[in-house]
Structure 1
Amino acid sequence: MMRYMNRVIAFSAAIATFFVISAAVAEGAISLSGSLEHAVFQRDASNVAYVPLAGAYSGAATHIEARAVTLGGSYGTSTKWTTIDASPTGGSFNSEMAVSAGWYQVEVRAMNGSTVLSTATRPYVGVGEVFITAGQSNSAYYGGTLQTPGDARVSTWSGSTWQFGADSNPHVATGTNGSPWPDFGTYLVDCLEIPVGIIPVGVGSSSVQSWMPGNSNYNRLLSAFNVTTRNGFRAILWHQGEEDAYRSTSTATYASRLESVIAATRDDAGFDVPWGVARASWLNTYDVPAQMIVDAQNQVIANDPLVFGGPETNSFHSRGLTITPTNPHFNDAGLQEHGRLWKEAVVDFFNLQANPWEPPSGPTPAVKIQSGSSTAADPYSLGWRFTPTEEMVITSLGVFDAKGDGINNVADGGQLVCLFEWGGNESGAGACLVSAVVPTTAIAEPAGSFMAYYVDIEPLTLEVGKEYFIAATCPAYDLLYSAVLIDDEDRPFDRLACQGHATRTGSPQMPAHANTATFPVGPSGADDYFGGTFKYVVGVPEPSTLVLLSTLGLLVICRRR
């Protein structure tokens, strides 16, 4: 009973610290507070998490409603609007909503009876698997090149907010280089089709003693517990041992110290925390008793049914997986293998099953962007040129969102996208075939490592061998994707010919009804960025399919395989 009460208290504290209510809300407005974007909440045995929703509102709200909408093509179950606060008072609300495993946009709205007063949204909210990673350098970002997840559904905790799980983003661990966690997350997302959240707290050159209760590193674990909510987290993943091999820590002493850390975490977290323990102790050219530490780690694993064996990494240096043969830190291949081995260990121990889901058939995103961004002081447009090699039917026009702040150009209702015939030279496009405004209310969906927004159009068939040009407006100082592509082997058009900034005069948008527009190549460094995009099907759909595409807006997720 005490452990249960501890968990309830911990959850209440997490809610209090997780959200800071906004003090200033416009009349008739509603806002969501806290780190929701890219957050991942641990699912329970019924595949559900309780997503905390807090914020502020103004106006005569009689109740607050919320829903979760599956981001295009991702696994998940959208919810209907449900009341999360039946009688809000004082201009704030603090509640939660049950959501099944998946990747969502969360929406809340203030209601007066049946009238919607205002709505607020947060994209990229996940329900899935959450892990705390601890130990020393090979868990703490001291490896080779910075790694980037191959899926947008991998998140890390920065110390103050959730974020996309690239090594280049801030984190709590002490290193500044590559880690295994982007690859671990990507492998696990590929397997389970649900988001993965990682809270990394590792410390370079740390001993097991420094992680014992009362020592500074143990407080890092306590801080990680406060990030999680009602369902806690799946496990702590521990990679440490090299420092204790250097110190000649005995097998018995190491095992005893690690067991005390494990026992303390279970008391403080309020549940029987599972641990994954890597077998790791090799430390370059030092003449150290590495096997004694591995023996201790195996002893802890054997004596505790909730401790499972993680990767065995002492052979990495002889397999060419360290930065140099005498450097204990893992190179790119080593980081990827380390991540893969952790994925295998987690899946095997917890018997995690892939969700019985396949991407729905339907339009395919034309381009999936992996990295890069650019800004400009003035509004501009960006475009790129392509030639179909098979008959293509364009079903949607869209824009990329590198900044993660949704659709801009609010004064104009959204961002304009135009598809042109190519004009035959580098100075401009030909006839505008179709245009559409992607509204500020559009729902985000994955497009490689980031997100895109689309709006359906009347299906338009493109000719084989003819050149086309797709472009979109972009507000000043907004971010765009660079042309780093994840190419599909069966993409039905040839290599992309990138075009740069498209100058415009007067209007902050391209003319919506003009037959022509000029898109000259931009200044140095500006001719390899992508703005507009589209979705397509190959061949001419049957009439019934066109109706389905138009009414349902079928989506497809971009995933690394």
Structure 2
Amino acid sequence: MFKLLMLLLTLHSSLAANVAKDIFILAGQSNMAGRGGVVHGKWDGNVPPECRPNPSTLRLSAKLTWEEAQEPLHADIDVGKTCGIGPGMAFVDGLRANGSRTSVVGLVPCAAGGTKIRKWARGTQLYRQLVSRAGASVKDGGAIRAILWYQGESDTVTKEDADAYRGNMETLITNLRTDLNEPSLPVIQVALASGEGKFIEIVRRSQLAINLPNVKCIDAKGLALQTDNLHLTTMSQVHLGLKLAGAFIDSFGHMP
């Protein structure tokens, strides 16, 4: 009888996980995909307490199935790259630590390293993949609560790309809201801590200047970088995830 009861509880929990999710899209380039702990193409395997698995934290796999989330979140998404710690798991830990009503959380990894924002324009492969994965994430219930966006390092190489960043980002947000049928979908973007070129400040100013409804920006400037001076360290990714959680709770915590 006890074994039967445990089986029924397990089945009930599994069914609940399929219908009761607060879903967050993780998109952008390598610092969102996660390079924390990656040195010379190898991940050190260090998982901080804030990033450890939790049965109530799920991820949408490349095969569009929900599974218990664990680092590296983007291992089967940002393929061809070595992924490590990103901000996603620490973000969920921060939601729970701050008393959020969030129970079962679904993370949808979509980031791809080395991608300029024009690679995310409507009609591109990355854009179509994001929209497709977002749609699949709510097929069995749940709701998308926000898009977490960290991208722009590749747009710092030329002044032309840097100058065009704000317009491209505003268009991207508008298009995603339209195609996801979520006209007020919150977007929390990260202002750059680093870049591949010398026009970092132009892109940062663009990110900080965006003034669309339900769009917030947190600043990664000052977070420690790895020796490549491009990617955040493991602990910086943890701090970033917690900052993202704080921004979501402060700005959108009233949402159902």
TM-score by length of 2: 0.79
Look up the equivalent residue of 2:12 and give its one-letter code: V
Separation in structure 1 between the aligned mates of residue 213 and residue 17 of structure 2, nearest angstrom: 35
Give a deviation string over 1:386-427, Cα, whole Å, max 9, x none.
Answer: xxxxxxxxxxxxxxxxxxxxxxxxxxxxxxxxxxxxxxxxxx
**In 1, distance between residues paired with 2:126 and 2:91?**
23
| Residue 194 (structure 2) pairs with residue 291 (structure 1) | no
8 A Cα contact 1:140 1:200, kept in partner = yes
Deviation at 1:314, TM superposition (A): 2.6
C-alpha contact (below 8 Å) 2:54/2:68 kept by paired residues = no
Q: Which of 60, 79, 84 is residue 177 of structure 1 equivalent to? A: 84
> Structure 2 CA distance, aligned partners of 1:105 and 1:348?
35
**Quick one: which amino acid aligns to residue 323 of structure 1?**
Q
Q: Residues of 2 paired with 1:281 and 1:209: CA distance?
A: 20
Secondary structure of the corresponding residue to residue 149 of structure 2: strand
Matched, 1:269 2:171: no
Select 1:306's aligned residue among 208, 214, 218: 214
State how far apart, in whole Å, the 2-side matches of 1:186 and 1:281 are. Answer: 22
Deviations 1:58-107 (A, max 9, x none): xxxxxxxxxxx996xxxxxxxxxxxxxxxxxxxxxxxxxxxxxxxx8438
Do 2:186 and 2:215's aligned partners in 1 also have CA atoms closer than 8 Å? Answer: yes
- Is contact 1:143–1:178 with CA below 8 Å preserved after alignment? yes
Distance 1:216 1:245 in 2: 22
| C-alpha separation in 2, matches of 1:248 and 1:70 | 60
Q: Distance in 1 between matches of 2:252 and 2:78?
A: 26
Counterpart of 1:426?
A: none
Q: What one-letter code is carried by the residue in structure 2 that aligns with 1:329?
A: H
Structure 1 residues 180, 289: CA separation in 2 closer, same or farther (over 3 Å shift)? same
Match of residue 159 from structure 1? 62
Judging changes above 3 Å, is the alpha-carbon distance between structure 1 residues 338 and 195 closer, same or farther for their aligned structure 2 residues? same
CA displacement at 1:180 relative to structure 2: 1.5
Contact 2:20 2:142 in 1 (8 A): no
Partner of 1:499: none
CA distance change for structure 1 residues 283 and 220 in 2, over 3 Å: closer, same or farther? Answer: same
Determine if contact 1:323/1:329 at 8 Å carries over to the other structure.
Answer: yes
Provide the aligned C-alpha RMSD in A.
2.8
State the alpha-carbon separation in 2 of the partners of residues 123 and 207 from structure 1.
Answer: 38
What's the CA shift for 1:156?
A: 1.0
Aligned twin of 2:36: 143
Separation in structure 2 between the aligned mates of residue 125 and residue 226 of structure 1, nearest angstrom: 14
- CA distance in 2: counterparts of 1:167 and 1:256, whole angstroms: 33
Tell me by how many angstroms 1:141 deviates. Answer: 2.5
Amino acid at match of 2:127: Y
Structure 2 SS opposite 1:220: helix
**Structure 1 SS opposite 2:177:** helix
Larger Rg: 1
Q: 1:253 to 1:281 in 2, by over 3 A?
A: farther
Q: Which amino acid aligns with 1:159?
A: A
For the residue of structure 2 that corresponds to 1:214, the secondary structure is coil
Report the counterpart of residue 133 of structure 1 in structure 2: 26
**Identity over the aligned pairs, expressed in percent?**
22
SS in 1 for 2:116: coil
Hey, which of these two has a bigger chunk of helix by percent?
2
Which of 230, 245, 249 in structure 2 is aligned with 1:328? 230
Kept in 2: contact 1:149–1:166 (CA 8 A):
yes
Corresponding residue number in structure 1 for 2:41: none
CA contact (8 A) 2:152 2:195 kept: no
Q: How does 1:454-533 map to 2 (within 5 A)?
A: none
Distance 1:70 1:209 in 2: 49
**Contact 1:189-1:195 within 8 A present in 2 as well:** no
Q: What residue number does 1:217 align with?
A: 126
CA contact (8 A) 2:21 2:142 kept: no
Residue 250 of structure 2: aligned partner: 348
Counterpart for residue 12 of structure 2:
106
**Aligned to 2:145, which of 231, 234, 245?**
234
Distance 1:213 1:266 in 2: 12
The one-letter code matched in structure 2 to 1:306 is N
Q: Contact 2:17/2:104 (CA < 8 Å) preserved in 1? A: no
Corresponding pairs, count? 231
Higher relative contact order (CA 8 A, sep 6+): 2
C-alpha distance after superposition, 1:428-467 (max 9, x if no partner): xxxxxxxxxxxxxxxxxxxxxxxxxxxxxxxxxxxxxxxx
Structure 1 counterpart of 2:165:
254
Distance 1:123 1:258 in 2: 36
**Residues of 2 paired with 1:243 and 1:258: CA distance?**
14
Q: CA deviation at 1:323?
A: 2.0
Q: Of 106, 114, 125, which residue of structure 2 is paired with 1:197?
A: 106
Would the aligned equivalents of 1:149 and 1:186 in 2 still touch at CA under 8 Å? no
What is the deviation of 1:231? Answer: 5.3
- Looking at structure 1, the residues matched to 221 and 243 of structure 2 have their Cα atoms a distance apart, in angstroms, of 13
Query: Residues 58 and 69 of structure 2 are in contact (CA less than 8 Å); yes or no, is this contact kept in structure 1?
Result: yes
With the length of structure 1 as denominator, give the TM-score of the two structures: 0.38
**CA apart distance, 1:341:** 0.8
